[in-house]
Chains A and B, each alone.
Chain A
Amino acid sequence: MIRVLCATLFFLCGTASAADAPGIVVTAAWVRASLGQSPTTAAYIRVENKGAKDDRLLSVSTPAAAMAHLHESVSANGMMQMNAVPALVIKPGQTVELTPGGMHIMVMNLKAPLRAGATMPLVLTFEQAGEIKVEAEVRGLK
């Protein structure tokens, strides 16, 4: 069934101009404002694959911090762990949402505190779609 769907989507996209296909669309980007002196925060995005092929989010960066990594908060035996997500796969037609308590972009060693109302650039590198730059809105809690 999935194979048929993929084949159909591929056919549809194949008939359209491949260059016009939006492929990966990133929306709803936000980052939590700095809490006190903590140089660490988390950013969240929604990624939709409107293309015909699997795509993978390979890396994230921001000029506002020394490092940004895709992480997942995972509970194992009542112990919360933060595991690195090496590459996030987004299938054609799939929307992946990063939300508090789940997958997030961990932003480490902020160069300056983030204040609510500002924006923070996020550069997302995808295997197929290449670099996509979005402005993440800096918000208070939740």
Chain B
Amino acid sequence: MLAAEREGEKVMQMNRALVLIFVVLLVAAGVAGGALLRPVILPPPAPVVQAAPRPVAAFTFTNQNGEAVTAETYRGRWMLVFFGFTMCPDVCPLSLSYVGDFLKALGPLASRVQAAFVTVDPERDTVPVMKAYLANFDPSIVGLTGSSDQLAAAAKLFGVSYSERLTGTERPDGGPDYTMDHSTAFYLVDPEGHILRAFALDRDAPEDMTAEIRAVMAAKEKP
């Protein structure tokens, strides 16, 4: 091998080494820079923001006058829906009297609202039982009862849960007595039937609930 060739090979080796060092430095800088800049250069993929479609109220029941009604019966009006049962001694009468207070507080707007009491105990809450019970509350409140399937379908849509619980005592007819555990929220439904939100009685004071519903209605009803 000629000296010139050897010299050339040395230069090439040096060049390769330099290139290698350069590449290593470049990669290192890239990694370091990448690490520093990652939040800017590579933002995590933004979640696809999509408003959950609001469930639309759909149900078929019988009102306290024995008439068949569906959610369409009340389209065009606001609804305030409460699930309970007539043998509920404490929370249900309290809630239904709150509904009366709420309707009174709404003033003229109350004519745009249909309050509904849906029984979670349709076995015992028949049409005449519902009618006699509701006679104690605001006369505009409608009472809805039906088959257990009709109840289950409506409850699922509203996100209401309910279950029987044996009280360990006997009914007058000798059968095991039971009470119902149930959700105690008030559900606001807009005139198009969208279930807007739930107001929990134990969280939202009745006055707060009235003020909030009034605001929601005013926002939607303004020309």
- Cross-chain contact B181 with A73 (CB below 8 angstroms): no
- Cross-chain contact B182 with A36 (CB below 8 angstroms): no
Determine whether A79 belongs to the interface, using a CB cutoff of 8 Å to chain B. Answer: yes
- Cross-chain contact A80 with B182 (CB below 8 angstroms): yes
Question: With the chains together, A141 CA to B171 CA distance in Å?
Answer: 25
Query: A71's contact among B90, B97, B134, B201, by CB below 8 Å, is which?
Result: B90
Supposing A101-B91, A106-B89 touch, asked if A78 and B185 sit within 8 A by C-beta, the answer is yes
Chain B binding surface SS class:
mixed
Question: With the chains together, A104 CA to B182 CA distance in Å?
Answer: 18
- Cross-chain contact B89 with A104 (CB below 8 angstroms): yes
Closest-CB distance, A45 to chain B (whole angstroms) = 14
Question: With the chains together, A41 CA to B89 CA distance in Å?
Answer: 4
Supposing A100-B90, A104-B90, A106-B89 touch, asked if A36 and B135 sit within 8 A by C-beta, the answer is yes
Question: With the chains together, A133 CA to B91 CA distance in Å?
Answer: 26
- Cross-chain contact A80 with B91 (CB below 8 angstroms): yes
Determine whether A67 belongs to the interface, using a CB cutoff of 8 Å to chain B. Answer: yes
- Cross-chain contact A142 with B94 (CB below 8 angstroms): yes
Determine whether B87 belongs to the interface, using a CB cutoff of 8 Å to chain A. Answer: yes
Nearest B residue to A82, CB-CB: B179
Question: With the chains together, A21 CA to B97 CA distance in Å?
Answer: 41
**Interface residues as binary, B165-188 with A (CB distance below 8 Å gives 1, 0 otherwise):** 101010110000101011111000
Closest-CB distance, A103 to chain B (whole angstroms) = 9
Determine whether A26 belongs to the interface, using a CB cutoff of 8 Å to chain B. Answer: no
Residues of B within 8 A of A78 (CB): 161, 183-185, 198, 200
- Cross-chain contact A109 with B172 (CB below 8 angstroms): yes
Residues of A within 8 A of B136 (CB): 35-36, 140-141
Question: With the chains together, A90 CA to B128 CA distance in Å?
Answer: 42
Residues of A within 8 A of B183 (CB): 78-80
Determine whether A128 belongs to the interface, using a CB cutoff of 8 Å to chain B. Answer: no
Determine whether A94 belongs to the interface, using a CB cutoff of 8 Å to chain B. Answer: no
Determine whether A108 belongs to the interface, using a CB cutoff of 8 Å to chain B. Answer: yes
7 pairs, A vs B, C-beta closer than 8 Å: A42-B89, A81-B165, A100-B94, A101-B90, A101-B94, A108-B167, A140-B136
The 6 closest A-B pairs by CB, nearest first: A36-B132, A36-B133, A42-B89, A80-B184, A141-B97, A40-B87
Please report A residues at the B interface, Cβ cutoff 8 Å: 32, 35-42, 66-67, 71, 73, 75, 78-82, 100-101, 104, 106-109, 140-142
